[in-house]
Amino acid sequence: MLKLIPTLVLLICLTYSLAGQVPAGYYESASGLTGKALQQALHDIIDGHTTLEYSALWQAFSTTDVKADGITVWDIYSDKPGGTPAYTYTIFTKQCGTYQKEGDCYNREHSFPKSWFDDLPPMNTDLLHIYPTDGWVNNKRGNLPYGETASATWTSTNGSMVGPSSVQGYQGTVFEPIDEYKGDLARTYFYIATRYYGEDSQWPGSDMTAGAQPKPWAVPMLLAWHLADAVSAKEISRNNEVYKYQGNRNPFIDDPKFAEKIWGTLNPVEETREERLSMTLWPNPAQEWLNVSISGYPCSGSVAYIYDTGGCLVQTATVEEGLVTISTAELPAGIYFLTLSCDGKISTEAFVVTGR
């Protein structure tokens, strides 16, 4: 059976009220597109940004990554939202430098590691993936893929972890950030995949990426992070500030639906059919319950996502077996989409909930 999560997740559509200072018509050429066509259109919009000098990143951090007090560095590897971090940094002080432990200094963390693109410009100074972070934690992360681990071998003071992957489809060592910044980093990776779309043929890549593009095992995880950790006021402010320096933006912060239209449920074109699951839904239309049959893969522990026609996430459930049942009793009558990722493969099917 399917174990239902007791509360509805935060609707991704609520993030649209936080819309930042997007120039009028900025995304007009991407209107109505999905899939690779949308990714290409967004690439053409954000391509050719102003390239900064590496030394200029320190100055940029003073406006892109400073907290409301105007002096404290916003370090996603040490910050404790709603709590007190073990240490903080004052902007322009304790820039790395050498370090022997957490709290010694902060540096310029390439969330998409430099070795994955040969440390070449303009990627190596692109602020939309470079964050100020504690040097020691940055070193522990190194060039590990982001991921999730169930048995950490090292944990930072804010709960970031290093350990063997628990993500289906990848078994290596990963770095897991805290939940509050997983969405930030997922949208960062969607940005990289789009900004450098078609420009990454010579990149070495990594266990997580083929050039700039996330590998099949990483896509469902990044989409799940994107959905569970909605766009924050911090991200919007940072996006606006980076735009002042580089002249380009992260589209996935400005419109979270773009990610779903390229890699997820709102892309109606099956561009990677070999990465699809075989999934059957019944009864369809449904009233109180929806049965889901999954063929070919042991999907226990995977998450099923249900969206309305506006692309808003309205319910999630955890899959425990290949034949599962989901309660639809709380869903208003209408059309919905159920998407499931398992072992790096994805399937989306539409269903109808009728009036009771």
Segment 236-265, tens digit of pLDDT: 999 999 999 999 999 999 999 999 999 987
Instruction: State how far the Cα of 268 lies from the Cα of 197, in Å rounded to an integer.
Output: 20
Is residue 64 domain-shared with residue 174, that is, in the same domain? Answer: yes
Domain housing 307: 273-353
Crossing angle of helices 35-46 and 182-195, in 10° steps, is: 80
Q: In this structure, what CATH number is given to the domain that contains residue 280? A: 2.60.40.730
Instruction: Indicate whether 5 belongs to any domain.
Output: no
Is residue 189 domain-shared with residue 332, that is, in the same domain? Answer: no
Is residue 214 domain-shared with residue 304, that is, in the same domain? Answer: no
Instruction: State how far the Cα of 328 lies from the Cα of 80, in Å rounded to an integer.
Output: 36
pLDDT digits (tens, 9 = 90+) for 277-311: 678 888 988 999 998 887 655 666 677 888 887 66
As a three-state string, the secondary structure of the chain is: CCEECCCCCCCHHHHHHHCCCCCCCCCHHHCCCCHHHHHHHHHHHHCCCCCCCCCHHHHHHHHHCECCCCCEECCCCCCCCCCCCCCCCECCCCECCCCCCCCCCEEEEECCCHHHCCCCCCHHHCHHHEEEEEHHHHHHHCCCCECCECCCCEECCCCCEEEEECCCCCCCEEEECCHHHHHHHHHHHHHHHHHCCCCCCCCCCCCCEECCEECCCHHHHHHHHHHHCCCCHHHHHHHHHHHHHHCCCCHHHHCCHHHHHHHCCCCCCCCCHHHECEEEEECCCECCEEEEEEECCCCCCCEEEEEECCCCEEEEEECCCCEEEEECCCCCCEEEEEEEEECCEEEEEEEEECCC
Q: What pLDDT is attached to residue 88?
A: 97
Is residue 244 domain-shared with residue 287, that is, in the same domain? Answer: no
Q: Between the ranges 15-19, 259-263, 264-268, 315-319, where is the mean pLDDT highest?
A: 259-263
Q: What pLDDT is attached to residue 10?
A: 35
Instruction: Indicate whether 3 belongs to any domain.
Output: no
pLDDT at residue 6 is higher than 90: no
pLDDT digits (tens, 9 = 90+) for 68-105: 999 999 999 999 999 999 999 999 999 998 999 999 99
Kindly report which listed range (15-19, 260-264, 291-295, 348-352) carries the lowest average pLDDT score. 15-19
pLDDT at residue 7 is higher than 90: no
The total number of structural domains in the chain stands at: 2
pLDDT at residue 151 is higher than 60: yes
- For the stretch 195-204, contacts whose Cβ atoms lie closer than 8 Å and that sit 24 or more positions apart, written own/partner, are 195/43, 195/46, 195/47, 195/49, 195/126, 195/128, 195/248, 196/43, 196/117, 196/123, 197/39, 197/40, 197/43, 198/40, 198/43, 200/117, 202/118, 203/116, 203/117, 203/118, 204/115, 204/116, 204/117, 204/118
Average pLDDT, the chain: 88
User: How close are the terminal C-alpha atoms of the chain, in Å?
Assistant: 23
Name the more confident of 347 and 322. 347
Q: What pLDDT is attached to residue 322?
A: 65
Is residue 198 domain-shared with residue 332, that is, in the same domain? Answer: no
Amino acid at position 123, single letter: M
Alpha-carbon radius of gyration of the chain: 21
Is residue 211 domain-shared with residue 324, that is, in the same domain? Answer: no
* pTM recorded for the entire structure: 0.76
pLDDT digits (tens, 9 = 90+) for 196-248: 999 999 999 999 999 999 999 999 999 999 988 999 999 999 999 999 999 99
- Are residues 280 and 322 in contact, defined by beta-carbon separation less than 8 angstroms? no
Instruction: Indicate whether 11 belongs to any domain.
Output: no
Instruction: State how far the Cα of 43 lies from the Cα of 269, in Å rounded to an integer.
Output: 19
Q: What pLDDT is attached to residue 307?
A: 81
Is residue 213 domain-shared with residue 337, that is, in the same domain? Answer: no
Last residue of a domain, one of 207, 230, 263: 263
Last residue of a domain, one of 263, 296, 311: 263
Tell me whether residue 266 is exposed, middle or buried, using C-beta atoms within 10 angstroms of its C-beta: 0 to 12, 13 to 18, 19 or more. Answer: buried
Q: What is the mean pLDDT of residues 145-164?
A: 97
Q: What pLDDT is attached to residue 5?
A: 33
* Interior angle at CA 74, CA 118 and CA 65, nearest 5: 65
Is residue 218 domain-shared with residue 193, that is, in the same domain? Answer: yes
